[in-house]
Amino acid sequence: MKGLILVGGFGTRLRPLTLSYPTPLVDFCNKPLVRHQIEALASVGVDEVILAINYQPTAMLAALATMSQEIGIRITCSHETEPLGTAGPLALARAHLEVHPDDPFFVINSDVMADMTVLPEALAFHQSHGGEGTILITKVEEPSEYGVVVTDPEGSGQVDRFIEKPKEFVGNHVNAGIYILNRDVLDRIELRPTSMEQEVFPQMAAEGNLFAMLMPGYWQDVGEPKVPNPIDCFVQVIRCCRTFSQACVGICSFCTPTTCCSRPMVALQLVLYWWTPRRPLVKVA
């Protein structure tokens, strides 16, 4: 079974951290974000991870060589010469993804930090419903800031439609950026800049071929770190960085059970960058 991680973004939301290296190499819990994702895929039976890279490929390649040996999984890079959106990279990596045409494959957005222990359950759900694709969804407090996923009211999980930034409440389930897809989905995608969320998924939903499963655990878009009190956050993160232990969870406003900034300088840069008050990130109910 294969897994594809979309790591081609420029990391603009996390600057200045990503001026020197891409978002997937930013440390969380003393480990690069992309390593958390690769290890999660390996634990569910994925034997090869394909990374769709674009921004700072040299830094990515150097880090991935070490990860491949330490984790014991094959890591292949699919290099985009131009940004291909969230669907184009699947077409570019098609030769890798369809090696075993009867097996589904995983797709993960690289800027997602989540409780990946749900992957085995998600795979079983995907294999049970008979559709072409499964997207994991998560609950948010402010659905008006996202594209809402509306599913069958009967509870089958079949996706009915997508509503982009609704002005009236229609639901609070949004795309979590983790998918399980059959090989047939590749026939829907051309090798050009295109979007899974805006082009491919709506078509699949209209045909009754897309299902959704609610993630029960933690989920966070790492592109917008939550910093309610910059000074307090910085002091507490420095404390956490000295120990790298779970003791920091619940004390530090920047750390959670699955994410912890592991470098004092990274913490300082984030505090300075996010000094201006911003909309707090959503919490999972």
Of 188, 213, 190, 192, nearest to 201 (Cα)? Answer: 188
pLDDT tens-digit map of 224-253: 655 434 434 444 444 445 444 444 444 344
| Extended strands (E) in the chain | 2-7, 48-53, 74-79, 105-109, 112-114, 133-139, 147-151, 159-164, 173-181, 210-214, 219-221
Please report which helix (H) or strand (E) contains residue 265, including its range: helix 264-273
CA distance 111 to 108: 9
Partners of 108 in the beta sheet?
5, 178
pLDDT at 104: 97
Pairing of strands 159-164, 147-151: antiparallel
pLDDT over threshold 90, residue 284: no
Q: Print the SS3 string covering 119-161.
A: HHHHHHHHHHHCCCEEEEEEECCCHHHCEEEEECCCCCCEEEE
> What average pLDDT does range 270-276 have in this prediction?
47
pLDDT tens-digit map of 32-91: 888 999 999 999 999 999 998 876 667 677 778 888 888 999 999 898 888 899 999 999
Average pLDDT value for the chain? 78
Cβ neighbours of 187 (radius 10 Å) = 11
Whole-structure pTM value: 0.76
CA distance 181 to 186: 9
pLDDT at 245: 42
pLDDT over threshold 80, residue 9: no
pLDDT above 90 as % of the chain: 45
Cβ neighbours of 203 (radius 10 Å) = 11
Residue ranges of domains in the chain, CATH in brackets: 2-221 (3.90.550.10), 230-273 (no CATH)
